[in-house]
Structure 1
Amino acid sequence: MITSVIYYIMAVLLLAMILTVFRLVKGPTTPDRIISLDMIGSIMLGLIICIGIIKDNSIYIDVILIITLILFVGTVAMSRYLTHNEKKKWK
């Protein structure tokens, strides 16, 4: 029972990833693309959680923590980079 629900959740997450990739490709501005990359990472985390539940293995929690830290640092770095470029543009 729970496995079929997990597979349904994974299908919905894959649909969300397809729509997010569409936003990544079409996104009119750079912040749109950065947000979509961050969203793709979050969707991947959800998929990894589903795989961990199906395989009944807790090692995936460590993988999720590492990926979350990398996503956070990447998002902050890109935000700082864009903010720094905006300040240069207005001077």
Structure 2
Amino acid sequence: MDIVIGITLALMTLAMCLAFVRLVKGPTLPDRVVALELFSTLIVGVIGVIAIMTDVASFLDVTIVMALMAFLASIGFARFLERGGPQDD
């Protein structure tokens, strides 16, 4: 079981590094928004794996709150992009 958790955390860390690269180098704002959403989803996954590894149930509450915050942030970014994105007034 420890080997599976270790491999899972390593792959999620690699995915977070790649998502961070896309977040920094994204050519457009929607690319960066998608990378940020992926990054937050991976953070929720890592916290979930740590909750399984440590048998601490309160970490699952943290994952639920993080997932809800990420969902609300993605809705906010989508509305921002729908209205035209950044504008020079």
Q: How large is the RMSD of aligned CA atoms in angstroms?
A: 1.2
SS in 2 for 1:85: coil
What SS is found at the alignment partner of 2:83?
Answer: helix
Partner of residue 20, structure 1: 19
Partner of 2:72: 73
In structure 2, list runs of 5 or more residues that go unmatched.
Answer: none
Q: Note the 1:1-91 alignment, pairs <5 A.
A: 2-85=1-84
Q: Work out the percentage of aligned pairs sharing the same amino acid.
A: 34
Structure 1: give runs of 5+ residues left out of the alignment: none
What is the TM-score normalised by the length of structure 2? 0.91
Calculate the TM-score normalised by the size of structure 1: 0.89
- Which structure is higher in helix share? 1
Aligned AA (1:59): S
Displacement of 1:27 after TM fit?
Answer: 0.4
Whole-Å Cα distance in 1 between the matches of residues 71 and 62 of structure 2?
Answer: 14
Q: Distance in 1 between matches of 2:60 and 2:51?
A: 8
* Secondary structure class of the residue paired with 2:41: helix
Give the structure with higher Rg (CA).
Answer: 1
